[in-house]
Amino acid sequence: MKRVLVTGSSGQLGMTLQELAPEYPEMRFHFTDKSSMDITRPEEVSLVFEQLKPDYCINCAAYTRVDQAEKEPDAAYELNVRGVKHLVSACKESNTVLIHISTDYVFDGTRKEGYGPEDVPNPINVYGKTKLEGEQLIQAHLDHYFIVRTSWLYSRKYGHNFYKTILAKAKAGEALTVTDKERGCPTDTVNLAKYLLDLIATRSAEYGIKHFSDGEPMTWYEFAESILNDNGYRDKADLQRGENYRTFAQRPVNSVLI
């Protein structure tokens, strides 16, 4: 029986893992959120690790507000770098395999082709910079880890994401203007969660950096179109291509993961 500790369990990926957990009876899960294990508090992290002695820790806790991170970089750093540092120390102490989730936004997006795990990151916004620093800490201090970079993550059910924003706006009858200048691969949290749990179940993958997405490159505009189509709103909604939507952070033009 593998003991699996999950952090940030009330986020969209964490909630999806909770939903899928019964399908993996060979694992004993311990789901934590900010109130039961705040990853920025080293003493809380140590205590949970000492009590649980997890074989694996899936880190779903993160600062994910890309625009807001430009205004409060320290808050993003606290969670995505310092929080990760505390997890790294605890994993080292308890001999726990860390499964950490990272992002396509570690790349600058200037390549024409997709980005593979060996490509050199060069983040262009605060969120991406803090996520890259988190990755680097893990690589520097742990031998037994998976850094799984994913992209354009969405859950139809849980949390805040582009999918739910677009659908809510369409349902409210709001006009939608969506950029077609950025390209990436949307990823359903259900598919990512299965990939992560299968890493544990099969124990066949080599440690290191992995890329996981649903593998279908598109622009945000095309993603909005497909969301509306899937939900029967394509004809009813007013969807335009355009750059009117106000953002603070720069985003990679091409962040397709391969």
Ligand X SMILES: Cc1cn([C@H]2C[C@H](O)[C@@H](COP(=O)(O)OP(=O)(O)O[C@H]3O[C@@H](C)C(=O)[C@@H](O)[C@H]3O)O2)c(=O)[nH]c1=O
Q: Which residue has the tokens 């397709």?
A: 256
Q: Could you say which of 179, 191, 226, 231 contacts ligand X (CB under 6 A)?
A: 179
3-state secondary structure at position 243: coil
- The contact mask relative to ligand X for 196-235 (x = CB under 6 A, - = no) is ------------------------x---------------
- Please say which residue, 103 or 254, places its beta carbon nearer to ligand NDP: 103
Helices 162-171 + 220-230 axis angle, to 10: 60
Q: Could you say which of 153, 200, 218, 239 contacts ligand NDP (CB under 6 A)?
A: 153
Write down the least CB distance from residue 81 to ligand X, Å: 15
Rounded Cα distance between 150 and 135, Å, is 13
- The contact mask relative to ligand X for 131-170 (x = CB under 6 A, - = no) is --------------------xxx--------x--x-----
Find, among 21, 19, 12, 14, the residue nearest to 162 by Cα.
12
Rounded Cα distance between 27 and 30, Å, is 10
Q: Could you say which of 31, 56, 77, 105 contacts ligand X (CB under 6 A)?
A: 105
Residues ≥6 apart with Cβ < 8 Å to 73: 126, 130
**Site for ligand X, rule CB under 6 A:** 64, 66, 103-105, 151-153, 162, 165, 176-179, 182, 220, 245, 247, 251
